[in-house]
Chains A and B, each alone.
Chain A
């Protein structure tokens, strides 16, 4: 373990120094281009500022400390979904997590259950593949023929799918899921929530709905969920993923019984 002090004027302090002016980060490092690269943890100390988020702390560590420290980030307001990481043992978006809410030292790891590319950057390809596997696109039975004709949707129906449409593809849910960790083919929470969003959209039509429900009865779809609620707990957009999956189970059961 090495220590990286990013405060130009501060005297070297021990890693247990957690006075309120300093934030101590324990950051997972993995630099694959180094020969014989092995992962390790590095300690960064950055000056605390009111309102500081974990992303702010990481940016400070990088920009005033070690330029090789690598992580994804973009919007810094919880909408682009780039900076989901494993912070103090839980999947969180770094940009919406206040440093003051966390116990120090703050341990930051890449999202579990995904291959690490470098430092805090994980390989998202499998997550994207699973998202794409549920045909995540609107595909109505009877598209309107007139360019200005709106497909009507009741406010209630829009409300029903509202939470599911909030997904930002950050991958926190899938990373938190024990089942997804053990079954690579399991669609996982975010893709199932995406399926829920289309299955319940009244604009799509019965035929497409049936095809979508058919997929839900697959061995690696809704029945794999063991309702542990971890996906719901970690979702930074408060999407009730588990509830959605439970509802899909009911719909899939009805579909199996040919009740549709």
Chain B
């Protein structure tokens, strides 16, 4: 049975960005609803540990925050976006305090801040080593307070977008969702806007800090609807994840003074010259490469990991500021962080790229917004600084919510879509890319509910096909193939030959997916079906990562390429874009914006 609902603003996803967007849209007077595949408190924002950067104190300033962020990005972030982040963060963070968030506190009762990697000032506010948990729950509480409607366990699987040839002429009228509990398809019309806040896509890798549900749903849906994905080759590998599970050990450990050493007992960040000034608190890409170099050159433990040691911080400080780390090390590695060093190695953590937006959260499709990790505004460029993801959620979630609700935020500086100074990539891939069997256009350029109903029909067709297929390939197998290929070949160190293999393996996985069947034919809570659809999303997103990694022949931030061992500002001060083009993807570039209120001259990046 198909259900149709209408709201002014539909927020897809109930994590940090989605909740903040919904609060903003609601406060601006819009009838707002959150549609999320999980209950909001289950969202992956809750797993964030370290903190939220904001220039709150004397001696710090938004200008310094912006400058650090630009340097961290290796000069591939857009100045207008960074400046908005740095300027809005203080008020938006204190707003969380006003919402009751239990921040860690100084003796005099003010919000504490600690040092974090790549920061010139200790500007990371935090709540123990479980900052994301407190941020998520605090904002969900505010959603409850305001009575904002939440459709939880509704899996949005398609956007209702018109089908003009040029994506910049298209309009988003809503979304289609599966009611997970009952199995019905619902159409949600959004008369003002749809905000995608669907979070990460880390499940394209098999060693990741990301939740099993971080499957790039928003990225894939926006991409297929015509929005380009930007800078997808920039994937952050966090230097301190537990080897057996990929569970994150917060940068806060190093921020508080934790040290890294190799099997020869060397504090290698200093002693081997990787970062002679900042040591363990160099930027994440720098530390991850250092660790893997140590391991590859035979100075790791069991050829797999290095040690992170916080014992010298003392029991009291650890219990006060990092207690959660003790539980994680104990539960997932059987290590007591008070008396033993913790084994760590790099693990996939964050994707800097995502759905292209401007600083109001708008994509190139009218009425379609994105915010949070699924989006790329771009504040992180080639490498995200620790403590900059959470402010991004609230700053850009809020702005997207306000704009979708009709609040005037002024003229954006960032131009979205295939407009302006566009340059096409002149290379080719060895492997066929894109859709194996492109889906026919399903909607005319109608309005409102017509478009939503056409999208429902198209989604029903896709679901029926998956459910009707009897026998074939099971989706976990396809997902494993993909995750293995990405982990083996599109990791911290990248070579062209490996990237080409990854692209081929994604092609075979795509072909295998044509034969994927869903074992569970029931309507009730059919997670088998949901995961089959998520796997399609992972395939589409992963391919853009590899495409970007092949095209970018330089070494910048998190993107290290064998044979291209220098940052090449003459050629590569530009963002990579991949657009779906109805199943035959293309790759192109637009220049990075290094001029905002301030000008950011690219300098050598050392820590």
Inter-chain CA distance A37–B130, complex, in Å, is 42
Please report the C-alpha to C-alpha distance between residue A67 and residue B134 in the assembled complex, in whole angstroms: 34
CB-defined contacts of A260 to chain B, threshold 8 Å: none
B100 in contact with A82 (CB, 8 Å) = no
CB distance from A119 to the nearest CB of B (A): 8
- A76-B211, A168-B41, A168-B46 known, 12 other contacts, Cβ within 8 Å: A32-B524, A51-B334, A68-B520, A71-B527, A77-B47, A80-B46, A124-B39, A137-B100, A151-B98, A154-B105, A155-B107, A169-B41
Contact A154 B331 (CB under 8 A): no
Known: A67-B474, A150-B94. A118 touches B524 (CB 8 A): yes
Ranked nearest first, the 4 interchain pairs of A and B with the lowest CB-CB distance are A138-B100, A152-B109, A33-B522, A67-B519
Distance A166 CA – B46 CA, assembled complex (angstroms) = 11
Return chain B residues, CB-CB under 8 Å to A67. 474, 476, 518-520, 528
Interface string of B24-55 (1 = CB under 8 A from A): 00000000000000110111101100000000
- A76-B211, A82-B38, A168-B133 known; A70-B94 Cβ under 8 A: no
Q: Within 8 Å of chain A (Cβ to Cβ): is B523?
A: yes
Near A by CB (< 8 A), chain B positions 218-270 give: 244-245, 247-248
Bound CA span A161–B138, Å: 14
Scan residues 535-587 of chain B and give those whose CB is less than 8 A from a CB of chain A: none
* Complex-state Cα separation, A204 to B98, whole angstroms: 10
> Quick check: is A74 within 8 A (CB to CB) of the other chain?
yes
| Bound Cα distance A50, B141 (Å) | 39
A201 lies within 8 A of B100 (CB)? yes
Tally chain A residues at the interface, Cβ within 8 Å: 61
- With A155-B107, A158-B102, A166-B130 given, is the CB distance from A78 to B327 under 8 Å? yes
Q: Are B104 and A150 in contact (CB under 8 A)?
A: no
B-side contacts of A158, CB under 8 Å: 102-105
Residues of B53-108 contacting chain A, CB below 8 A = 56, 90-91, 94-95, 97-100, 102-108
Tell whether B600 is near chain A: CB-to-CB under 8 Å: no
> In the assembled complex, which residues on chain B have CB atoms less than 8 Å from the CB atom of A34?
522
Alpha-carbon distance between A72 and B523 when the two chains are bound, in angstroms:
16
> Could you tell me if A148 and B94 are in contact, using CB atoms closer than 8 angstroms?
yes
Chain B residue nearest in CB terms to A131 = B144
Q: How many Å lie between the Cα of A73 and that of B527 in the bound state?
A: 11
Q: What are the residues of chain A within 8 A of B524 when measuring CB–CB? A: 32-33, 117-118
Q: Which residues of B contact A71 (CB under 8 A)?
A: 527
Tell me the total A-B contact number using a CB cutoff of 8 A: 160
19 sampled A-B residue pairs with Cβ under 8 A? A67-B520, A70-B520, A75-B211, A75-B212, A76-B245, A78-B331, A117-B525, A118-B522, A118-B525, A139-B145, A140-B100, A143-B98, A147-B95, A149-B94, A150-B109, A151-B97, A153-B109, A168-B41, A169-B41
C-alpha spacing A169/B104, complex, angstroms: 22
* Cβ contacts under 8 Å, A212 to chain B: none
- Shortest beta-carbon distance, A12 to chain B, in Å? 21
Partner of B145, one of A72, A137, A162, A166: A137
The yes or no answer to A31 lying at the interface (CB within 8 A) is: yes
Cβ distance A56 to chain B, nearest Cβ, rounded Å? 9
B residues apposed to A, CB below 8 Å = 38-39, 41-44, 46-47, 56, 90-91, 94-95, 97-100, 102-111, 128, 130, 133-134, 137-138, 141-142, 144-145, 181, 211-213, 244-245, 247-248, 327-328, 331-334, 474, 476, 518-528
Instruction: Verify B105–A165 contact, CB threshold 8 A.
Output: no
A interface residues, Cβ below 8 angstroms from B? 31-34, 50-51, 62-64, 66-68, 70-82, 96, 117-118, 121, 124, 128, 132, 135-140, 143-144, 147-155, 158, 161-162, 165-169, 198, 201, 203-204
- B476 neighbours in A (Cβ, 8 Å): 62-64, 67
What is the minimal beta-carbon distance from B331 to any residue of chain A, in angstroms? 5
**Please, which residues of chain B bring their CB within 8 A of the CB of A62?**
476
Interface centre among A34, A96, A143 (most CB of B within 10 A): A96
Q: Write the chain A residue with the least CB distance to B146.
A: A137
Check B42 against A147 for contact (C-beta < 8 Å). Answer: no
Q: Which residues of B contact A138 (CB under 8 A)?
A: 99-100, 138, 141-142
A75 touches B332 (CB 8 A): no
B298 nearest CB across to chain A (Å): 24
Given the interface contacts A74-B213, A79-B46, A117-B181, does A132 sit within 8 Å of B144 by beta carbon? yes
CB distance from A208 to the nearest CB of B (A): 11
CB contact between A150 and one of B111, B145, B333, B518 (< 8 Å): that residue? B111
A137 adjacent to B47 (CB under 8 Å): no
Please determine whether A74 and B145 come into contact, CB atoms closer than 8 angstroms: no
Residues of A within 8 A of B332 (CB): 51, 77, 96
Asked whether A79 lies within 8 Å of B95 as measured between CB atoms, the reply is no
Residues of A within 8 A of B56 (CB): 148
Distance from B53 Cβ to chain A, minimum over Cβ atoms (Å) = 16
Residue of chain A at shortest CB distance from B97: A150
Partner of B44, one of A80, A132, A139, A153: A80
What CA separation (Å) do A165 and B56 show in the bound complex? Answer: 24
A161 to B134, CA, bound (A): 12
* Nearest chain A CB to B79 CB, angstrom units: 24
A74 and B130 contact, CB distance less than 8 A: no
CB-defined contacts of B42 to chain A, threshold 8 Å: 72, 74-75, 80-82
Residues of A within 8 A of B518 (CB): 67
Contacts of A147 in B (CB 8 A): 91, 94-95
